[in-house]
Amino acid sequence: MPRLKAPQRRDQLIAVATRLFARHGFRATTTASIAHAAGVTEPILYRHFRGKHELFVAIVRSVSDRTMRHWQEMTAALPDAAHQIRAIGQEFPAHVAKLSDEYHVLHGALALSHDRKVQAVLREHYLRIESFFASLVALGQQGGIFRRDVSPKAAAWQLIMAGIGYAMVHLNLSLVETAISREAIDAIVRGLRA
């Protein structure tokens, strides 16, 4: 395996850890197995990450950054918050499919981890998404397209809970075909309409 520069090595270790955590779970995966699968020694892994908790934190932050960037690019040209929320919801099945290993890792840890660092970075991730959707909803209220008796925070959580639920049952049980998830997001947007 050719020698990689530090940022590339870091990205490669994140990608390998994501795959192994998704396949075997966070607990069952060791830094030794991550280093082995990445074709490096454990001391090299430890030059980049203090351990698998730090790798997990890096995975969650990377999912957060990619999701936020993706949604901002996707919605930049759309006329209002209703179109933006619907577009994000309609495209969510494709987003989840593309990041399926990442979502397995996030949701596996969310369901089972009792580790405080793991929980802290997950909380940070969801609060970031809460704030993104709450701002969209507040903008829609200011623009007069959304009713004002809904709290932006509750609307944001309605979207987040639906997203987590969708990813959980779709990725793992192949339930909820796209037509059903589209109806669900339409219903949420309809419920917000002024």
> Is 53 near a copy of itself (CB under 8 A)?
no
Residue 80 phi, psi (nearest 5): -155, 175
> Is 117 near a copy of itself (CB under 8 A)?
no
| Strand spans (E) along the chain | none
Binding mask 126-155 for a copy of itself (x = CB under 8 A): xx----------------------xx-xxx
Block residue for tokens 């809904």: 150
> Is 123 near a copy of itself (CB under 8 A)?
yes
> Is 55 near a copy of itself (CB under 8 A)?
no
Q: What is the dihedral of CA 41, 42, 48, 52, to 10 degrees?
A: 140
Q: Which of 112, 117, 143, 144 binds a copy of itself (CB under 8 A)?
A: 112
> Is 48 near a copy of itself (CB under 8 A)?
no
> Is 187 near a copy of itself (CB under 8 A)?
yes
Nearer Cβ to a copy of itself, position 13 or 155?
155
> Is 38 near a copy of itself (CB under 8 A)?
no
Task: Encode 107-123: b = buried (16+ Cβ within 10 Å), e = exposed.
Answer: bbbbeebeeeebeebbe
Burial class (CB in 10 A: 0-12, 13-18, 19+), 33: middle
> Is 191 near a copy of itself (CB under 8 A)?
yes
Nearer Cβ to a copy of itself, position 97 or 154?
154
* Token output for 106: 């996030």
> Is 97 near a copy of itself (CB under 8 A)?
no
- CA–CA distance, 103 with 168 (Å, rounded to integer): 9
Number of H helices, E strands in the chain: 9, 0
Q: Which residues bind a copy of itself (CB under 8 A)?
A: 23, 25, 27-28, 104, 107-108, 110-114, 119, 122-123, 126-127, 150-151, 153-155, 157-158, 160-166, 168-169, 172-173, 175-176, 179-181, 183-184, 187-188, 190-192
